[in-house]
Structure 1
Amino acid sequence: MTGTMLAITLSADWEPREGARLTSNELAGHFAGDARQVWRNPHFQLGQRPLPRIDAPGDVIVKVHRAGIARSNCKMGDSDAEGYVLLPYRMRLPLIPGHEIAGEIVEKGTAVRHLQVGDPVAIQALQPCGSCRACLQGKPNQCLETGFSGFTSDGGMAQYFVTSARFVHSLLPVAERFGFDRAMDVGAVCEPAAMAYVGLFRQAGGFLPGATIAIFGCGPIGLSCVSLARCAGAAKIVAFDRTQNRLRHALALGADMAVNVRDAADQENGVSEALLEFSGGMGIDLVIEATGDAWNLFPQFEKALAIGAKVVSLGVERKPMPISLFPYQETGAWLTGTMGHIGGFEPLIALHASERMDLSTIIDARFDLANGLQALQVASRFDEAKVVLLPHAEPASIGDAQAI
């Protein structure tokens, strides 16, 4: 492929903080494991970029039909009082952001056998090295050398995207039953849903049918947890969030109760009392923290843990959190978490193809790529459950952008 395409690009100034400890590789490559230490004055731009090309026999080029906007994408463009980015991820700039990608294959390398041109696909953004200690132990989500599309290499907020076929998951089972557009919507939410799946079942080991579940945060990850918990046989599910729209989604996906955390927080011990009442005094068997607001929430729900409870952290903390160990010692509860999605795509696609769940319903706003900067602003309000870009949709006026 030759020519140019429309894309959103993120740039920033490389200005390591005084005292920042960087490796020689980070310094040489303008790359940091913690972007907050080096990248200053971030800004998004919309413009033309060269079309991607196949560089290896195992590569594929994907025509992007959906690119989800994640909370992390919004944080990539936000900065603190000194102008440094707020996102505590690894990041190499400039690049095209976007790690929630669905589209169709339009070109493939000579070594690609299991995928065909025209196939609808979802993209796994994490690209583990395969040779580090974590990878060799079968824990690719913990790979410290992983590539990450949209953070360390170009992502999907563009009309086309190139990646290795190893990181591509077919959406044919969904498309054959529900059509191409439904498959694209499912593909757009596969990444956060896969992270929820990995956290709940691969990292935490799941739960027994009949369990009582509490989910804090009803963004795409938290809402995926609601749906997965219902699929897996939870008896009772309570969801907490700050926005009524997201709470409505939680109820529609299977939560038995949805609580505005602002209302509960206004009362002393309001959250823990709500949890104990909801569980009939027995406590919560599995708690999912998917807000990044752990320093406020942990002291509250730790008072309502059931014997042998599990706590799963899926949110990215915005500041260090002190933790009290006594509730875990007393109840035998344990804490785990993940930021990875490897191992979650195939189960999520199978669940959608069999109509056991449908997370495409959480998409609240759709924007053409020409209005992508406005889409980022809308997503930054955190009112909508999911905002997606349609890179090949006809440009709409600003007022009509969400009506695509």
Structure 2
Amino acid sequence: MKAVRLHAKWDPRSDFKLGNKDIEGKVSWLGSKVWRYPEAKVEELPEPKIKRPSEVLIKVRACGICGSDVHMAQSDENGYILYPGLTGFPAVLGHEFSGEVVEAGPEAINRRNNQPFTPGEPVTAEEMLWCGYCRHCADGYPNHCENLHELGFDVDGAFAEYIVVDAKYLWSLRELEGVYSEEKLFLAGSLVEPSSVAYNAVIERGGGIRPGDNVVVFGGGPIGLAACAILKRAGGARVILSEPSEVRRKMAQELGADVTINPLKEDLVEKVLDYTQGMGAKLYLEATGVPQIIWKDLEALIWKARGINSTVAIVARADVNVPMTPEVFQVKRAQIVGAQGHSGHGTFPRVISLMASGMDMTKIISKKISLDEVPEYLTRLQTDKELVKVTAVNS
């Protein structure tokens, strides 16, 4: 079968020390510290086979390019990949996907009806392959599994014609039938994973909001846009997006944002305070990946606002140090929380239900491409910010 696989050279930086979860030459939880000279290639690979009774063979119908895919294929001036997390190469990229069941093992149970999966079922999958038995999983935090693997990072992903996934990570998309056409259903299904990352950040980790609260989202990428849609449906009085790209600002308004601000041309702090009558926001989402740029404005907002008890949720990955003023958070009774991943606490089924009830995230898809074009767009997306979500589609 055809697949897009990324290769890189294991060449650790001088300050890197092998961790207890790392495997020399194969896997590291600190990808940007060890992997050098990445190259994505379209290759012919054997079609995967079911090996365990709980596994499911899926024909991939749609798979979106994530910022993580771009950063794994992108290198710094010394040739090291930009993505800082769990990676193991070579690996087939792609984790934001949907498809239809081809074959299922006898113990592959579909949560939709508590019966074994049958061919033809439309599905999507979590990309974080949590073990279910470590302490963090047992405590209900699968995003922080101590034995974590990830589809498209250290396990072969979905930029391929077929993929095998254990049933415990799968979610049916039947609820979307009748709401979306077949092609659009699979496009929507490929956006469940990134939308669930946003849901986890603003609802689970950020604590959500009460109807009538104000929110500010920094960054209009797919996660920030999904956050705007979710927070408006959660009752946000003023959902405000800070984003330089006009294309992304318009998308945010289509998805529910009340106000969009171009921080390169407008005074972000003054605008937010004006729109909120000086109260500021209950929730701030850092979804830019460049906190070193936006942090000054974020702290100024918290400090100058009349409101207290705000939460800053950090969802974008960034291996940078950011100066923080503790006094701001003490006096304003504010807090910072980190948000990683999407699993647990029912994020996937709730996002699917939101999509079924009218939250059409397919609006963020800028372009549909073939598998052969994925390497080209992994490069193009490094600089082209007018493209929001590019999705590879298989017929």
Aligned to 1:342: 343
Q: 1:193, 1:348 within 8 Å by CA — same for their partners in 2? A: yes
- Looking at structure 1, the residues matched to 228 and 120 of structure 2 have their Cα atoms a distance apart, in angstroms, of 33
The CA deviation at 1:182 is 2.1
From 16, 22, 26, the equivalent of 1:26 is: 22
User: How far apart are 1:29 and its partner, in Å?
Assistant: 5.9
Matches within 5 A, 1:120-135: 120-135=122-137
Alignment-mate amino acid for residue 18 of structure 1: S
1:240 aligned residue (232, 239, 242): 242
Could you say which residue in structure 1 is the equivalent of 2:290?
Answer: 293
* Corresponding letter in the other structure for 1:339: Q
Q: Is 1:379–1:386's contact at 8 Å kept on the other side of the alignment?
A: no
Match of 1:379 in 2: 381
Residues 1:273 and 2:270 aligned together: yes
The SS at the match of 2:191 is helix
Question: Letter of the aligned partner of 2:201 in structure 1?
Answer: G
2:113 aligns with none
Q: Distance in 2 between matches of 1:168 and 1:121?
A: 6
SS in 2 for 1:258: strand
Question: Which residue of structure 1 lines up, in the alignment, with residue 77 of structure 2?
Answer: 81
- C-alpha distance in structure 1 between counterparts of 2:263 and 2:159, whole Å: 33
Question: SS of the residue aligned with 1:30?
Answer: coil
The residue correspondences of 1:283-322 to structure 2 (distance < 5 A) are: 283-305=280-302, 306-322=307-323
Opposite residue 351 of structure 1, the aligned amino acid is: L
Alpha-carbon contact 2:16-2:33 (below 8 Å) kept: yes
Closer, same or farther in 2 for the Cα pair 1:276/1:27, shift >3 Å? same
Residues 299-337 of structure 1: CA distance to partner in whole angstroms, max 9, x if unpaired? 212222231111111111241212111111111111112
> How far apart, CA to CA, are the structure 2 residues paired with 1:370 and 1:340?
28
Amino acid at match of 2:197: M
**Identity across matched positions, percent:** 31
CA shift digits 1:223-256 (9 cap, x unpaired): 0111011101111111111211101101111111
Cα distance, 1:24 vs structure 2: 6.1
Match of 1:158 among 152, 160, 170: 160
Once the two structures are overlaid, the 10-residue window that deviates more, 161-170 or 29-38, is 29-38
Q: Deviations over 1:42-75 (max 9, x none)?
A: 1111121111110100000111111110111111
Given that 2:261 and 2:268 are in contact with CA atoms closer than 8 Å, whether structure 1 keeps it comes out as: no
Kept in 2: contact 1:216–1:290 (CA 8 A): yes
By how many angstroms is 1:124 displaced? Answer: 0.6
Deviation, 1:371, is 1.8
Alignment of 1:199-278 (within 5 A): 199-264=201-266, 270-278=267-275
**Is residue 240–residue 258 contact of structure 1 (8 Å, CA) maintained in 2?**
yes
The answer to whether the 8 A contact 1:57-1:112 is kept is yes
Q: d(CA) in 2 for partners of 1:113 and 1:274?
A: 51
Amino acid at match of 2:298: F
Q: Secondary structure at the match of 1:16?
A: coil
SS for the counterpart of 1:199 is: helix
Query: Does the residue aligned with 2:91 lie in a helix, a strand or coil?
Result: coil
Q: Secondary structure at the match of 2:270?
A: helix
Unaligned 5+ segments in structure 1 are: 265-269, 394-404
Asked if the contact 1:134–1:142 (Cα under 8 Å) also holds between the matched residues in 2, the reply is yes
Supply the AA of the counterpart residue of 1:159: E
Q: Could you state the TM-score of these two structures normalised by the residue count of structure 1?
A: 0.91
1:354-379 CA distance string (max 9 Å, x none): 22x11111111110112222232333
* Cα distance in 2 for residues equivalent to 1:331 and 1:68: 39
Q: CA RMSD in A?
A: 1.4
Distance in 1 between the 2:243 and 2:19 partners?
A: 39
Instruction: Tell me if 1:8 matches 2:4.
Output: yes
Letter in 1 for 2:278: G
Matched, 1:388 2:384: no
- Mapped to 2, the partners of 1:273 and 1:46 lie a distance apart of 49
Shift of 1:289: 0.9
CA shift for structure 1 position 180:
2.0
Q: Do 1:32 and 1:92's aligned partners in 2 also have CA atoms closer than 8 Å?
A: yes
Cα distance between partner residues in 1 of 2:15 and 2:242: 39
Residue 298 (structure 1) shift: 1.7
CA distance in 1, matches of 2:374, 2:279: 47
- Greater Cα offset, 140-149 or 158-167: 140-149
- CA apart distance, 1:26: 2.4
Mark the runs of 5 or more structure 2 residues left unpaired by the alignment.
111-116
Call closer, same or farther: CA 1:69–1:336 in 2, change over 3 Å: same
Change (3 A) 1:237 1:23: closer
Structure 2 residue identity aligned to 1:108 = A
- Equivalent residue runs for 1:42-191 within 5 Å: 42-114=38-110, 115-191=117-193
Q: Give me the whole-angstrom Cα distance separating, in 1, the residues matched to 2:340 and 2:386.
A: 23
Which residue identity lines up with residue 253 of structure 1 in the other structure? L
Q: For residue 263 of structure 1, give the secondary structure of its aligned residue in structure 2.
A: coil
Q: Do the aligned residues in 1 keep the contact of 2:4 with 2:159 (CA within 8 Å)? A: yes
